[in-house]
Amino acid sequence: MSLAFDVVVIGAGPGGYIAAIRAAQLGFKVACIDEWKNAAGGPAPGGTCTNVGCIPSKALLQSSEYFEHTRLHAAEHGIRTGKVSMDVAQMLARKDTVVKQNNDGILYLFKKNKVSFFHGRGSFVKAADAGYEIELSGDKPETLLGRHVVLATGSSARALPGTPFDEELVLSNDGALRLGAVPKKLALIGSGVIGLEMGSVWRRLGAEVTILEGLPTFLGAVDEQIAREAKKAFDKQGLKIELGVQVGEIKSSKKGVSIAYTNAKGEAQQLDADKLIVSIGRVPHTTGLNAQAVGLQLDERGAIVVDAECRTNLPGVWAVGDVVRGPMLAHKAEEEGVAVAERIAGQHGHVDFDTIPWVIYTHPEIAWVGRTEQQLKAAGVAYRAGTFPFLANGRARALGDTTGMVKCLADAQTDEILGVHIVGPMACELIAEAVVAMSFKASAEDIARICHAHPSLSEAVKEAALAVDKRSLNF
């Protein structure tokens, strides 16, 4: 006898658990299956985001930022400290507690919303009359029947060909988040989001960090002016980033890792390090789904093929999050999860891909929404740009954190905001105003006319909007 549900969700990362909750709110009988295990072998819902992604990385970024701030800047405030040192074990224990709070929070939300949670692997068996038969393997095997199935199986770290992750010397995001001690020399391959965030954590704690990046430009997807400003700050901090390299052979030994590479000038180089983090992107994760049993279509990258509304090639089977096209971001996965649940209910769930914000949680933070200046130029769009430096913002001065700027790009004719780019303190929070503005198709003048609290970092957003019309007041 199989257990029948209106909706079976496979994967309890941000895409899956949110889809399950929203579907339950809409009155469906919902099951959510997830195989992630905590250290004791128990369930750990929340996926990559909660267990080895967004949440633990932000916990370590916070701890390491406090450490660096105390070490370098506390004295400016008159705070006297003795020699400041870092208890790495305590930092990791705190991070684990934060992760567990989030795992437990999701289990609580499942209960509250009457979502039946199953711990184990979910695989397709076959299409059945009224949906799909899903096999649950794990401690308590079961067969589930889902009228609709939502696939939210996420992604995993991409390894360099011939260099598998051993999580001892060659680390993915997983190993990078649980290094038991600060390595003297840390190498990273890939100066994307993970490279910069994890490189920052371990540099702040005292590692000599070198990041090798294949592309000749730094943060190519980011507005060039913002990327330049961020690079200046990282250089000053001592985060070494070599662009335009070609990575060759990687050898591991008892002493560490040795990376042969060719630099941008074509010269052969070697980088020796105690540990190597490989952060060269992620690949969609579908192993274990038994996709072929039902003829689920995957593309050449292994992603589940979906239409604009997250429908797969199989009727009643949907897919969301990292396992499908689009940016690999937790909030994008969540939005898709909500939209799919609403579509199953016959509603008109919608995800606006043009207003998905990005944040890189380095110091300074980098955040943006919409199009960059180089994209507007390439598309031949006439625009006006306004920038405002945090150096001229009172709250930033009081915080002692004046690096960076806000940049607002608006249509030259209509003044509609086309993109907002921030490098500086709390960029992750400031970008929300820009997302709201763009979602409501606001003009730069709209933001410029709104009263912003003083003194606040958000005044820099207003001033950048004023600067579009060359009338910023404080710069």
Residue ranges in contact with ligand FAD by CB under 6 A: 10-16, 33-36, 47-49, 53-54, 57, 121-123, 152-155, 173, 194, 285, 288-289, 321-323, 328-331, 333, 361
For ligand FAD, the closer CB: 22 or 395: 22
Binding partner at 204 among ligand NAI, ligand FAD, none, C-beta below 5 to 8 Å by kind: none
Q: Does 201 bind ligand NAI (CB under 6 A)?
A: no
* Single-letter code of the amino acid located at 22: R
Separation CA 435–CA 432 (nearest Å): 5
DSSP letters, 86-102, are --HHHHHHHHHHHHHHH
Selection from ligand FAD, ligand NAI, none that 372 binds (CB < 5 to 8 A by kind) is none
Query: Would you give the distance in Å from CA 320 to the centre of its chain?
Result: 15
CA–CA separation, 402 and 445 (whole Å) = 25
Q: Choose, from 77, 119, 348, 454, the residue flagged as catalytic.
A: 454
Cα distances (angstroms) measured from residue 232 to each of 62, 110, 218: 22, 45, 11
The interface region with ligand NAI, picked from 101-109, 353-361, 374-382, 396-404 by CB under 6 A, is: 353-361
Residue 216, binding choice from ligand FAD, ligand NAI, none, Cβ under 5 to 8 Å by partner class = none
Out of 215, 379, 398, 436, which residue is the one contacting ligand NAI (CB under 6 A)? 215
SS3 272: strand
Closer to ligand NAI at the Cβ: 259 or 298? 259
Dihedral (CA of 272, 273, 274, 276) sign: negative
Give the residue among 40, 155, 152 at the shortest CA–CA distance from 96: 40
Between residues 200 and 279, which has the closer beta carbon with respect to ligand NAI? 279
- 61 to each of 196, 210, 363, 430, how far by Cα in Å? 11, 18, 9, 19
Residue 214 or 455 with smaller CB distance to ligand NAI:
214
Nearer to ligand FAD, 22 or 121 (CB): 121
Single out the residue of 446, 294, 429 nearest to residue 361, CA to CA: 429
Using Cβ positions, the residue closest to ligand NAI within the complex turns out to be 192
Cα(232)–Cα(226) distance, rounded to whole angstroms?
Answer: 10
Nearest CA to 328 among 83, 131, 54, 109?
A: 54
Answer yes or no: are the C-beta atoms of 463 and 472 closer than 8 Å: yes
Residue 322 or 342 with smaller CB distance to ligand FAD = 322
Residues numbered 282-301 forming contacts with ligand NAI, rule: CB under 6 A: 282
* Interface region with ligand NAI, contact rule CB under 6 A, candidates 63-71, 109-117, 192-200, 431-439: 192-200
To ligand FAD, the closest distance from the beta carbon of 153 in angstroms equals 4
CB of 57 to ligand NAI, least distance (A): 6
Of residues 241-280, which lie at the interface with ligand NAI (CB under 6 A)? Answer: 247, 279-280
Distance CA 253, CA 250 (A): 10
Could you say which of 34, 68, 133, 197 contacts ligand NAI (CB under 6 A)?
Answer: 197
Q: How far is CA 237 from the centre of its chain?
A: 23
331 is catalytic: no
The residues assigned a catalytic role are 454
Q: Which residues bind ligand NAI (CB under 6 A)?
A: 160, 189-195, 197, 212-215, 247, 279-282, 327-329, 359-361
